[in-house]
Amino acid sequence: MTGWAEYPLNESMPWWALSELPRSVARAEFDRTMREKDERVAIFRDLLAESGIEFDGSDGSVQSLNDWFVETMTPAADRNDPDRRSQSVCEDVTLLLGDVMIDRHPELRWEFFIWGKKNVAYQSHVIMGFSLEDPKWHSNFDLPRIIYGYGVQVLDTRRGLPVDVGVPEGHPLHGVQIPLSPLDRSEFLSLLAAVARRCQPRRSG
């Protein structure tokens, strides 16, 4: 593969569409995503290599991935959300970082999330298995939504857009906008650290 021209888009359904699907259809989508995960990760590693990033799962390569991600996010023509290619990148980054988390903490796993139809992660592929948390709570790390949200923040920061407070009409703060929070340019390392805090420490030796 020689770069963007030969980068096949990830055809997985976006995370926000999964909750509305019949369970059987959403489950089939999860199974397909997991079945094709290693191939997608390999394709994405090749794309990174074309940009001079030899991704090996180390903190240094994760930071290089973060820098590349910030530089390559592209907005859609009619809105400030990631365009189709950038959506594909978000999904491939999700799979790559998720596997790094699992490699670092073998107790973790990819899971099809089905606990709570009002949960934003419902019927999406999430990271579960946190040993320091009670399994009965079905706690998870909703990586697809987090990575996509970071992509949106990258684009908003680039344009310098403020964000709406988001309160109903009639509220004293309705229509008031606040500045964006500073972009964390080491977000991916922050995510890995957040996951590590929820897992048993790795034994040395």
- In sequence order, the 6+-apart residues with CB closer than 8 A to the CB of 102 are 108, 109, 110, 127
Higher pLDDT among residues 90 and 116, named by residue: 90
If pLDDT is split at 50, 70 and 90, which confidence band does 136 have? confident
Is residue 82 predicted with pLDDT exceeding 70? yes
pLDDT, residue 118, reads: 84
Residues 140-171 pLDDT 10s:
899 999 999 999 999 988 887 665 555 567 66
pLDDT, residue 205, reads: 44
Nearest Cα neighbor of 110 from 118, 120, 97 is 97
Rounded-to-10 torsion of CA 58, 62, 63, 65: 140
Residues 3-21 pLDDT 10s:
798 899 999 998 888 989 9
pLDDT, residue 1, reads: 47
Tell me the domain boundaries of the chain.
Answer: 4-162+178-196
pLDDT, residue 187, reads: 97
pLDDT, residue 60, reads: 98
pLDDT, residue 177, reads: 60
